[in-house]
Amino acid sequence: MLQPSEYSYGKPNSPIPTPNSQPIPVKTVSAPVEQATIGRSLVIKGEISGAEALYVDGRIEGKISLPNNRVTIGRNGIVQANIVAAEVVVMGKVNGNIECSDRIDIRSEGSVTGDVSTIRISVEDGAILKGGVEVRSGGQKQQNQAPQAKPSAAEPPKAMAATASA
């Protein structure tokens, strides 16, 4: 059977909760997400490098090198550049090679024309991908690919033979 509590709201001795008396939730301390944004009306020609995430809603021609960060190509973004990043999300158009140390995500409205090298890849229905795809194992890094770039003359490279026939 339920007993009335001494802290019930009906008693005059009970404390009435006020906005100042309730505990304030403690926020966990985390590093703020720093992200540079290239707006819709901006056009950049040249090389972009840095140590923060990049959101592109404008136009870039050249090279993007953010090897430890995310590059997001927005719906209005048009990129004619090679991209080196940890993670790439494509919702706009990319014309160039993409090298990811983690993953590439091509959304349904996204388009990539060029070769892709990554550990994980996601291509949604409706997305366009024209070019070669290399999915590496998690332990294989970019340094391990350098010997593969120079195959021996005795044995033709299997990956190049497969892309040449496609």
pLDDT of 132 above 60: yes
**C-alpha closest to that of 135 among 121, 125, 114, 146:** 121
The per-residue pLDDT for range 34-79, each reduced to its tens digit, is 899 999 999 999 999 999 999 999 999 999 999 999 999 999 999 9
Residue 29 lies inside a defined structural domain of this protein: no
The model's confidence at residue 104, banded by pLDDT at 50, 70 and 90, is very high
Q: What is the mean pLDDT of the chain?
A: 79
- Count of domains observed in the chain: 1
pLDDT higher than 60, residue 146 = no
Q: Is 123 a member of any domain?
A: yes
In the prediction, which pLDDT does 86 show? 96
Residue environment code for 69-105, b if the CB has 16+ CB neighbours within 10 A, otherwise e? bbbbbbeebbbebbbbbbbbbbbbbbbbbbbbbebbb
Residue 145 maps to a domain = no
108 is a domain residue: yes
pLDDT over 70 at 158, yes or no: no
Q: Is residue 109 part of a domain?
A: yes
pLDDT surpasses 60 at 138: yes
22 within some domain: no
Range of the domain at 52: 35-138
Confidence of residue 12 (pLDDT cuts 50, 70, 90): low
Would residue 104 count as lying in a domain?
yes
| Structure confidence at residue 62 (pLDDT) | 97
- Residues 126, 108: contact at Cβ < 8 Å? yes
Whether the predicted pLDDT of 24 surpasses 60 = yes
Using the predicted structure, report yes or no on whether residue 84 has a pLDDT greater than 50.
yes
Any domain includes 43: yes
